[in-house]
Chains A and B, each alone.
Chain A
Amino acid sequence: MHSSNAQRAYYKYLAPTMAVIFLLTVVPIIVTVVLSLTSLSYRSANPSRFIGIQNYVRLFSDERFLNSIPISIILIVVPVAAQLILGFIIAVIMKEKLPGMGWLRLLFVAPMVLPPIVMGLMWRILFTPQLGGVNYLLSLVGITGPNWLSDPTYALLAVIMAAVWGWTPFVGLMFLTSMQSFPVDIYEAAVIDGASWTKSVRYITLPLLRPTIFVVGVFRVIEALAIFPIIFILTNGGPAGATETVNFYGYVSGFNFLRIGYASAIMVFFFMMLLLITAPSVGFLLRNQQMER
């Protein structure tokens, strides 16, 4: 059954699927690279022509583009760090199986499946003065809330808060699932040695969780890099570009300004950023448990 010939018999079940997926992903990526070397614009009457790397050269004197790079980095680092820390705390709490807290795990499902556009809309409502509850809650503790979405710093903070709300449950659930597979006898040995609860979290749970933290972190970073619907509806990249990420600017260049060639160059840059970030983790992905049978 496991001879080479027998294995080959399975190819015809795999090949059509791989062919379709390959066609649908590799062709568009090649098209993007080709477009990025042209002057294609749906707004200009000039025919599209090959202009080499001019679009890329122009990128680095485009202040709006240069401004979007640090925004992308902030919107990766801050929310993902917050999600990992908060997710860890929540997972530790749920692992304790406190009586009467089982409902918390059920609640996690809602943010995980919520349409991102609805999530963004929800926070848009919450941050709108009068209508939303954020400033009302702040006023209860004596703070006069800012005008969230029209102040550059607070708008960025608003996007961060929405991202933390939306993806901490995913992180927490991944951590919890991993923690449940930890061997019980290590904790029992800790009890015999007289370790305190905080020490057991610090010196047993955290080190054992490290590989999972890494993998989940990579997943989150990739998705955080591609954050779009929340920004689209919450701030639309504003005010004054304060929440405009690289991919958001790529979208605006392509679909608002209709400069397809230039926008393609931005997307290629975005893709390179992605590869740069994920390359170190490929070895880890190869060690995935599903890779062997």
Chain B
Amino acid sequence: MVQRSKWITVLLYLIGIGYGVSIILPLAWVVMLSLKTQLDAFAYPPLFIFKPTFEHYAAIFHDDVFVLAIRNSLIIALSSVFLSLLLAVPATFAIANLTGRRRRLPLLTILLIRMAPGMIYLLPYFAIYNRLKLLDTHIGLIIIYLIFNVPLIIWMLLPVWNSIPRELEEAAVIDGATLWQVLVRVDIPLVRIGIIASGILAFIFSWNEFLFALVVTRRETITLPVAIVRYMAYEGTEWGKISAAAVFIMVPVVIFGFLIRRYMISGLSAGAVKG
């Protein structure tokens, strides 16, 4: 490595630490706010040491709408992940074994869909669902999330799948295995960690999704990100409750994010950056 001068080292430390603090501080602020009483929340200068209260967490779990939103978010995210894997895993198996144009064409299609912002599908889904009576149903949102999750999973799984030694598959075929048996008995066991990681990334996406949930859900299928916006609208001054809800929504995804951090690059960059 090229030698740095002492001054540069000091500068790098300063920028690095400063940047780290700027990431932590906003998050810590919301966590602290969720543990402060209404009186402490508005104290000036802000209190950094205070007697924590869990009243806001107790309050959100006694709120029927919030509890319903937890249930809806879980149903929608888990079902969408399950269906997405069902579609994406065989497709990845096929793409990994195809070559030339047969490979590039589906991959490019999937990449373009992966990159297109959801906004462009918003109005037609609203109009179509309005006609088909799919507004405010779980299945309505589950279907929409396939658009984002299937390409995400394929792009995340493909590098993992490509790392399977071809000899293993070829040996299985010589032994008389059908393609289906190669997929189920040979490949899936080898890429299972990748499947789990891509499933988790798809779960994070579905759990976080706001735009479609806002537009196609109503009272019955409200999800957590929409529920928190309702809090803002109706209880605009109850910042303790709002922060507690925010912390509750982000904790699972942050934990999942730590677990799959190694795999996230290929999923999020769609293979554009060597990982």
Taking Cβ atoms with an 8 Å cutoff, the residues of A that contact B are: 1-2, 7, 9-11, 13-14, 16-18, 20-22, 24-25, 27-29, 31-32, 35, 40, 86, 89-90, 92-94, 96, 98, 101, 103-104, 106-118, 121-126, 130-133, 136, 165, 169-170, 173-174, 177-178, 181, 187, 190-191, 195-198, 200, 212, 215-216, 219, 222-223, 225-226, 228-229, 232-233, 247, 250-251, 254-255, 260, 263-264, 267, 270-271, 274, 278, 285-286, 288-293
Point out the residue from B151, B183, B228, B250 that lies within 8 Å of A114, measured CB to CB. Answer: B250
A131, B87: Cβ atoms closer than 8 Å: no
* Contact A125–B162 (Cβ < 8 Å): no
Contact B115 A219 (CB under 8 A): yes
With A133-B29, A165-B22 already in contact, the answer to whether A109 and B124 are too (CB < 8 A) is no
Contact A93 B15 (CB under 8 A): yes
B66: Cβ under 8 A from any A Cβ: no
Determine whether B39 belongs to the interface, using a CB cutoff of 8 Å to chain A: no
Asked if A114 meets B254 with Cβ closer than 8 Å, knowing A21-B146, A107-B23, A293-B99, the reply is yes
Does A133 contact B46, Cβ atoms closer than 8 Å?
yes
User: Is B199 in contact with chain A by the CB < 8 A criterion?
Assistant: no
Interface code B130-166, partner A: CB below 8 Å = 1, 0 otherwise? 0000000000000110110011000100110010000
Closest to B44 in A: A130
Q: Which of B9, B104, B109 contacts A98 (CB 8 A)?
A: B9
CA distance A90 to B33 in the complex (A): 29
Query: Which residue of chain A has the shortest Cβ distance to B11 in the bound complex?
Result: A93
**B229 touching A117, Cβ below 8 Å:** yes
A47 shortest CB reach to chain B, Å:
15
The interface residues of chain A lying within 8 Å CB-to-CB of B5 are 196-197
- Contacting residues, chain A, for B119 (C-beta < 8 A): 226, 228, 247, 250-251, 267, 270
Query: Which of A132, A177, A198 is close to B8, meaning CB atoms less than 8 Å apart?
Result: A198
**Do A14 and B90 have beta carbons less than 8 Å apart?**
yes
- The answer to whether A93 and B12 have CB atoms under 8 Å apart is yes
User: Which residues of B in the span 83-97 have a Cβ within 8 Å of any Cβ on A?
Assistant: 87-88, 90-91, 93-97
Q: How far is the CB of B11 from chain A (nearest CB, A)?
A: 9
CB distance from B240 to the nearest CB of A (A): 11
The segment out of B56-64, B189-197, B208-216 that lies at the interface is: B208-216
Q: Min CB distance, B35 to chain A, in Å? A: 14
Check B15 against A14 for contact (C-beta < 8 Å): no
Given that A17-B88, A225-B117, A228-B119 are contacting pairs, would A111 and B124 also be in contact in the complex, using a CB cutoff of 8 Å? no
With both beta carbons as reference points, the residue of chain A lying nearest to B257 in the complex is identified as A113
Pair A24/B120 contact, Cβ less than 8 Å: no
Q: Are A113 and B253 closer than 8 Å at their CB atoms?
A: yes
Q: Which of B126, B143, B239 contacts A131 (CB 8 A)?
A: B239
Q: How many residues of B contact A (CB 8 A)?
A: 111
Known: A25-B116, A115-B250, A250-B119. A14 touches B95 (CB 8 A): yes
Q: Supply 16 further A-B pairs (C-beta < 8 A) apart from A109-B264, A255-B215.
A: A7-B97, A14-B94, A29-B124, A35-B124, A110-B27, A110-B254, A114-B250, A117-B208, A117-B225, A132-B29, A133-B29, A165-B26, A216-B273, A232-B210, A254-B122, A292-B103
Residue among B102, B158, B265 making CB contact with A173, cutoff 8 Å: B265
Report yes or no: A90 in contact with B16, Cβ–Cβ below 8 A: yes
Contact between chains at B264 and A233 (CB < 8 Å): no
What 6 A-B pairs are tightest by C-beta distance, nearest first?
A226-B117, A113-B257, A28-B124, A14-B94, A115-B208, A17-B91
Find the A residue at minimum CB distance from B46.
Answer: A136
Residues of A within 8 A of B183 (CB): 13
Residues in B with CB closer than 8 Å to A107 are: 20, 23-24
28 contacts between A and B (CB under 8 A): A1-B170, A14-B98, A20-B146, A24-B144, A31-B127, A96-B1, A96-B12, A115-B225, A115-B250, A116-B208, A118-B250, A124-B232, A125-B30, A125-B243, A132-B29, A173-B264, A177-B275, A200-B2, A215-B273, A223-B117, A232-B210, A232-B229, A233-B229, A247-B119, A260-B126, A267-B120, A285-B111, A290-B271
Whether the Cβ atoms of A18 and B106 lie closer than 8 Å is yes
Q: Which residues of B contact A271 (CB under 8 A)?
A: 120
Query: Taking each of A24, A27, A165, A181, which has the highest tally of chain B beta carbons within 10 Å of its own beta carbon?
Result: A24
Which residues of A have CB within 8 Å of B51?
none
- B249 close to A (CB within 8 Å): yes
Q: A1-B173, A174-B269, A290-B158 are in contact. Are A113 and B23 (CB under 8 A)?
A: no
List of A residues within 8 angstroms of B229 by Cβ: 117, 232-233
- Taking a contact as CB atoms under 8 Å apart, the answer to whether A21 and B150 are in contact is yes
**B196-252 with Cβ < 8 A to chain A:** 204, 207-208, 210-211, 214-215, 224-225, 228-229, 232, 239, 242-243, 246, 249-250
A255 to B150, CA, bound (A): 27
Interface flags, B17-54, vs A, CB<8A=1, else 0 = 10110111111011001000000011011100000000
User: In the complex, what's the smallest C-beta–C-beta distance from B108 to chain A, in angstroms?
Assistant: 7
Closest beta carbon of chain B to A167's beta carbon, Å: 11
